[in-house]
Amino acid sequence: MSSEKVEVLARTGSHAVVHLPGRAFPGIHVPGDGFAALHLQLAAAARALRAEPGDQDALGELDHVVGEVGAVLAAYERTLAERGIRRPY
């Protein structure tokens, strides 16, 4: 294990925009429990849609996850814009 200083550029709820040493662009820190919850939601929706294409509950779950990820991405993009950092995409 190494010990490195990470620059925290912004914190939004339980997420953070961080810049790791040696990386050209900042990244997004998502706590493991939140990431695991997103994975479970996506996996459950995928299973439901394979079993029943067009399952409205599964589609709603996907929309929810897309919204959550979109909010984190929007916070990331705002942070980069505020600091004059171009997006990596």
Q: Going by C-beta distance under 8 Å and a sequence separation of 6 or more, which residues neighbour residue 75?
A: 10, 12, 15, 17
Helix (H, G, I), strand (E, B) or coil at 81: helix
Per residue in 26-78, pLDDT (tens digit) is 999 999 999 999 999 999 999 999 999 999 999 999 999 999 999 999 999 99
pTM beyond 0.85: the answer is yes
- Residue of 20, 22, 15 whose CA lies nearest to 75: 15
Give me the residue spans of the domains in the chain.
7-82
pLDDT of 2 above 90: no
How many residues would you count in the chain?
Answer: 89
Question: Residue 14 and residue 12: Cα distance in Å, rounded?
Answer: 6
For residue 33, what pLDDT is reported? 97
